[in-house]
Structure 1
Amino acid sequence: MLISLRNDHKEHLNLLTTQSVQVLIDFCKLAIDFLQNGPNLKLYTTAAEKLSVDLDAVQNCIYGLVNLLLLSCKYKLSEADFRDSILTLGFSSEQQTILHKFYESKKTEVARIITKLSVSEPHYDDLEWRFEVQVSSRALLHQVVPLMTLDLSLKTMKDDGSGYEKEHLLLQTDVNNLLHITQELEKALIESRSRHSRKIQRALNS
């Protein structure tokens, strides 16, 4: 079978079609490093300076390579299918050979990464809460200790895909900790909507 890349991914990879074989090899290494350790802006900045291009161009090129490697490993492309899939991207015959050798040498490692990424993780299902206040005790007659008791329900897809397994977690926290947790979750939501996060999500889901 052949894989079909989106037009924006093709444009991102276009930068490499005019570069030397060594540059192509270096970018393939950057793509694997991205999969293993996340983005490295210092290395990307150095590459951008050497090639006299914008930092965004280097980042997009790496995202394009990551997408190409993930799709090729996901569908376990043969050499013929891999070459046919990248034929229209404008790579020379030598560059196609380099890309295929790199794919072959790293496909086991990438397949392992894909397996880790595809692990079914628990997802939010429901949340029930109760507000409790201890207004006094024998030791402290005027003590006020507000607490939140939470029943967090999580669901996880079964291995056979037939449905969800639910798990209940009983938690208790004070108001200050709850406020801190809320702030951290809001930061995570904002980051998930960032341009960088959306690019990663598109690369992994394509």
Structure 2
Amino acid sequence: MLLELSEEHKEHLAFLPQVDSAVVAEFGRIAVEFLRRGTNPKIYEGAARKLNVSSDTVQHGVEGLTYLLTESSKLMISELDFQDSVFVLGFSEELNKLLLQLYLDNRKEIRTILSELAPSLPSYHNLEWRLDVQNNKKVMEMDALPVLRFCVNVKEKHGYKDQVWPRKRENLPFRVGVFNIGSLEGFKVSMNLLKSHTKWCVHVFF
């Protein structure tokens, strides 16, 4: 899997060949620090004075390197794919090797930081469902009205939570038939229709 870089990111990374390898390595450290604690204009200003360039140039270089490292770490691309991704930038072999080493040295920590920054959303844990058939009369000259109940167990940050939804026949997402069980033959037909590979619990009250 190759990483696709926009023209804007390529422009930001174009500053890297203009500095020596020690500066690129320092930019890599700043990029990881940027993910951990957020941006710090003073760092950009200090580096800009040392390199005799504008702080915006330094900031764009760090942001471009941050994107390169975070997206590569997020996708966990291989060494070969990373090299192919940066090859299109036209950097020297030495710089490409340095960028690869920055990626290999920091991808585990970057993935940890990204997982901590991700919002904690409820996730699926388990699903239970039950089909009830309502029959409120002692005589069986009536239609059976099915009600499907869902119980979804979701995992949240501080534990688990159940969410229950009763669904009646008229608003089910699939078709459930209504069976007249007023005769013995009708009852047998209804019971046969219930037979499937799924386990059914049927209660008939007289």
TM-score range relative to shorter protein = 0.5 to 0.7
- Residue 113 of structure 1 aligns to which amino acid in structure 2? I
Aligned pairs for 1:10-25 within 5 A? 10-25=10-25
Larger Rg: 2
Q: CA deviation at 1:42?
A: 1.7
1:39 alignment counterpart: 39
Q: Determine helix, strand or coil for the equivalent of 2:124.
A: coil
- Residue 119 of structure 1 aligns to which amino acid in structure 2? P
1:75 alignment counterpart: 75
Q: Determine helix, strand or coil for the equivalent of 1:89.
A: coil
- Residue 31 of structure 1 aligns to which amino acid in structure 2? A
The separation in 1 between residues aligned to 2:64 and 2:12, in whole angstroms, is: 6
The separation in 2 between residues aligned to 1:82 and 1:98, in whole angstroms, is: 12
2:59 alignment counterpart: 59
2:135 alignment counterpart: none
In the alignment, structure 1 residue 90 sits paired with structure 2 residue 54: no
Which consecutive segments of 4 or more residues in structure 1 shift more than 4 A? none
2:124 alignment counterpart: 160
The separation in 1 between residues aligned to 2:60 and 2:18, in whole angstroms, is: 16
Q: Which has the higher contact order (CA 8 A, sep 6+)?
A: 1
- TM-score after normalising by structure 1: 0.58
| 1:81-140 alpha-carbon deviations (Å, 9 max, x no partner) | 0000011112211111111111111111001011112232xxxxxxxxxxxxxxxxxxxx
- Residue 24 of structure 1 aligns to which amino acid in structure 2? V
Name stretches of at least 5 consecutive residues in structure 1 with no aligned partner: 121-156, 166-206
| 1:55-99 alpha-carbon deviations (Å, 9 max, x no partner) | 111111111111111110111011100000011112211111111
What is the aligned length?
Answer: 130
Q: CA deviation at 1:25?
A: 0.7
- Residue 114 of structure 1 aligns to which amino acid in structure 2? L
- Larger helix fraction of residues: 1
The separation in 2 between residues aligned to 1:26 and 1:105, in whole angstroms, is: 13
The separation in 1 between residues aligned to 2:108 and 2:84, in whole angstroms, is: 21
Query: Pairwise CA RMSD of aligned residues?
Result: 2.3
Q: Determine helix, strand or coil for the equivalent of 1:160.
A: strand
